[in-house]
Amino acid sequence: MTFTDDIQPIPVGAITDWADEADVVIAGYGVAGAAAAVEATRAGADVLVLERTGSWGGAASMAGGFIYLGGGTDLQKACGFEDSVDNMAAFLNAAMGPGADAARIADYCEGSVAHFDWLVGCGVPFKAEFFGEPGWEPMGDQGLMYSGGENSYPFNTIATPAPRGHVPQMQNKKQGESSAGFMLMKGLVDTATAAGARSLYDVRVQALIVESDGRVVGIRTRRYGITMDIRARRGVVLATGSFAYNEAMVARYAPRIAGRPAASIEQHDGQAIRMAQALGADLAHMDATEVALFIDPQQLVRGILVNERGQRYVAEDTYPGRAGQLTLYHQNNIAYLIIDGDAQEEAMASLTPQLMMRPPTWVADTVADLEAEIGLPPNSLQATVDAYNEGAARGEDPLLHKKSQWLKPIKSPVGAIDLRESTGGFTLGGLHTTLDAEVLHVSGEPIPGLFAAGRCTAGLAAWGYASGVSLGDGSFYGRRAGRAASQA
Ligand SMILES: Cc1cc2nc3c(=O)[nH]c(=O)nc-3n(C[C@H](O)[C@H](O)[C@H](O)COP(=O)(O)OP(=O)(O)OC[C@H]3O[C@@H](n4cnc5c(N)ncnc54)[C@H](O)[C@@H]3O)c2cc1C
């Protein structure tokens, strides 16, 4: 048979030879696939994981490792923070919307403490130390950090701030290549393997195999140019990641992120979504994206972020991903960070890895000169800085409520960092699933035998985002998928 990207479901009657079989067949050995493998094997199922690359890991093993958990985990308590299920839900309902799925958030928050315990039980290590510096992730092996703007405006007026970015302990991190996500994956894969899960690498899943009544009973795959049909006696779990690297899908569903995939891997090509769509699967939140702003948060927090009209639009001490979303979606991807010489020096001397530390693009003695150099409308930046400085002198930010610890009048010399086109991210939408990770048909009924989790599904985030939501809902609903598939 020649290679084809054909995603059309294959009638089981057309299969003459099964290359392999298992009770539960899982596509993708990243975080959702690994969590599914652990739970399915523990439920007594014979499990086979099919992975397209030469090893387990996926984007998850490169990830900073934030897992968004709360409601009073042992780690939160050990670091001296109080939290509750309701408080966590109040934050997520505000921060993941508009359009956040309140039932999913309630479900996730309710199970969050137990999920943390489950991860610890899988050998994922966490150090009981809080990291309180601005940053994209903890610099060392600290285990807990604010990762969604919980302690900044507006969320600090909606829910009691509690840090929920739980980070596995890891030494010698290399940001963006090998970070704490590896320790999460290692714990999950070791546990799944010890429980008896099998894995096959260099296997690319291609299409679903179905009974005449629509039940999914297997997957067609390709390995080294050869077609292999794999039978699933109980269920198939799709866990192949997002569609951030599928240009056509991004152009159609999430065009704002076109040309700027980040925090993703090229294997995230939307294959699982398309395979399930071909069976009539429903989708949700396909336009939602995580967005990073490429600047060191140590600089961001000490400056003011302005748009093409010289106006501020976000409290600079919030989650930098929120600043990224607001820049890309609401400000035409145009931003300038205004920062004075002292603040720049302080940021440079800070303890973060300085991966995204940037020098000023323009420097001037006066704000008027800087405004002219950037090409902002006359008096726009000057009015913004005057108002900011007037409040900062009193320790207040009446416009955007940046916390007083970061408020200092902007002095001379003053610089601006050009942050136009300085965003990137990954897609958050995908297959519409039940809380038991069943893939829903457009009719509203689950597709029998088909389950999914991770970034090929729509999870907690509808529009907003917090670091840790992907490894969080991927592992949480990956477990559900594994359990449900093993009982199907
Ligand atoms: C540098 C970086 C930092 C990040 N930091 C964080 C963070 O701190 N917290 C957080 O929550 N998220 C973070 N993310 C995002 C997070 O890693 C992903 O969103 C998450 O791993 C998605 O889980 P998943 O199981 O859906 O996909 P993955 O973990 O990527 O697993 C999917 C697997 O499926 C495989 N696959 C793809 N197509 C096929 C196919 N056709 N056949 C077989 N296998 C296939 C892939 O090779 C991959 O191994 C980060 C990502 C990166 C790259």
Full pLDDT tens readout for the chain, 488 residues: 333 468 999 999 999 999 999 999 999 999 999 999 999 999 999 999 999 999 999 999 999 999 999 999 999 999 999 999 999 999 999 999 999 999 999 999 999 999 999 999 999 999 999 999 999 888 889 999 999 999 999 999 999 999 999 999 998 887 767 789 999 999 999 999 999 999 999 999 999 999 999 999 999 999 999 999 999 999 999 999 999 999 999 999 999 999 888 888 999 999 999 999 999 999 999 999 999 999 999 999 999 999 999 999 999 999 999 999 999 999 999 999 999 999 999 999 986 656 688 899 999 999 999 999 999 999 999 999 999 999 999 999 999 999 999 999 999 999 999 999 999 999 999 999 999 999 999 999 999 999 999 999 999 999 899 999 999 999 999 999 999 999 98
Q: What is the pLDDT of residue 5?
A: 63
Residues with Cβ within 8 Å of 355's Cβ and at least 6 positions away in sequence, in order, are 136, 175, 176, 296
| Residue from 470, 477, 479, 480 to probe ligand 1 pocket by mutation (most atoms less than 8 Å from CB) | 470
- Rounded CA separation 249/255 (Å): 9
Q: What is the pLDDT of residue 352?
A: 63
Q: Is 298 near ligand 1, meaning CB less than 6 Å away?
A: no
Q: What's the CA-to-centroid distance between 242 and ligand 1, angstroms?
A: 8
DSSP annotation of 255: G
Q: What is the pLDDT of residue 2?
A: 34
What value does the CA radius of gyration of the chain take, rounded to a whole number of Å?
Answer: 23
Residue 332 CB coordination number (10 Å)? 11
How distant, in Å, are the alpha carbons of 28, 51, 151, 207 from that of 25?
10, 11, 42, 13
Closest CA to 164 of 66, 94, 69: 69
Q: What is the pLDDT of residue 4?
A: 43
- Rounded CA separation 152/148 (Å): 9
Cβ proximity of 414 and 364 under 8 Å: yes
The SS3 assignment for 215 reads coil
Q: List the residue whose alpha carbon is closest to atom 14 of ligand 1.
A: 63
Cβ proximity of 8 and 25 under 8 Å: no
- CA angle, residues 285, 267, 172, in degrees to nearest 5: 100
Q: What's the CA-to-centroid distance between 457 and ligand 1, angstroms?
A: 12
Closest CA to 158 of 73, 89, 72, 111: 89
Q: What is the pLDDT of residue 350?
A: 86
- Rounded CA separation 475/67 (Å): 9
Closest CA to 24 of 484, 445, 433: 484
Residue 378 CB coordination number (10 Å)? 11
Q: What's the CA-to-centroid distance between 428 and ligand 1, angstroms?
A: 12
The amino acid sitting at 229 is D
Atom of ligand 1 nearest to the CA of 167: 8
Instruction: Please state the separation of Cα 193 from the chain's center in Å.
Output: 26
DSSP annotation of 428: -
Atom of ligand 1 nearest to the CA of 34: 25
Q: Is 29 near ligand 1, meaning CB less than 6 Å away?
A: yes
Phi, psi of 140 (to 5 degrees): -105, -140
- Rounded CA separation 325/284 (Å): 19
Residue 287 CB coordination number (10 Å)? 17
Residues with Cβ within 8 Å of 322's Cβ and at least 6 positions away in sequence, in order, are 95, 148, 149, 314, 464, 465
Q: What is the pLDDT of residue 34?
A: 98
DSSP annotation of 191: H
Q: List the residue whose alpha carbon is closest to atom 3 of ligand 1.
A: 63
Closest CA to 328 of 293, 304, 295: 293
Residue 33 CB coordination number (10 Å)? 34
Q: How many CA atoms lie within 13 A of 414 on its CB side?
A: 23
Q: Is 168 near ligand 1, meaning CB less than 6 Å away?
A: no
- Looking at 244-375, list the stretches that DSSP marks H as alpha helix, in order from N- to C-terminal side: 247-253, 271-277, 297-300, 320-330, 341-348, 367-374
- Rounded CA separation 138/123 (Å): 20
Q: What's the CA-to-centroid distance between 474 and ligand 1, angstroms?
A: 9
And the tokens for 453? 């989790």
Q: What is the pLDDT of residue 173?
A: 80
Q: What's the CA-to-centroid distance between 350 and ligand 1, angstroms?
A: 30
The SS3 assignment for 316 reads coil
- Rounded CA separation 20/33 (Å): 18
Q: What's the CA-to-centroid distance between 215 and ligand 1, angstroms?
A: 27
Q: How many CA atoms lie within 13 A of 420 on its CB side?
A: 6
Q: What is the pLDDT of residue 232?
A: 98
Q: Is 185 near ligand 1, meaning CB less than 6 Å away?
A: no
Q: What's the CA-to-centroid distance between 334 and ligand 1, angstroms?
A: 29
- Rounded CA separation 164/471 (Å): 13
The amino acid sitting at 445 is E
Cβ proximity of 177 and 137 under 8 Å: no
String of DSSP letters for 85-121: HHHHHHHHHHHS-SS--HHHHHHHHHTHHHHHHHHHH
- CA angle, residues 469, 29, 175, in degrees to nearest 5: 55
Residues with Cβ within 8 Å of 285's Cβ and at least 6 positions away in sequence, in order, are 99, 428, 429, 430, 458, 461, 462, 463
Q: List the residue whose alpha carbon is closest to atom 19 of ligand 1.
A: 470
Q: Is 53 near ligand 1, meaning CB less than 6 Å away?
A: yes
Query: pTM for this structure?
Result: 0.96
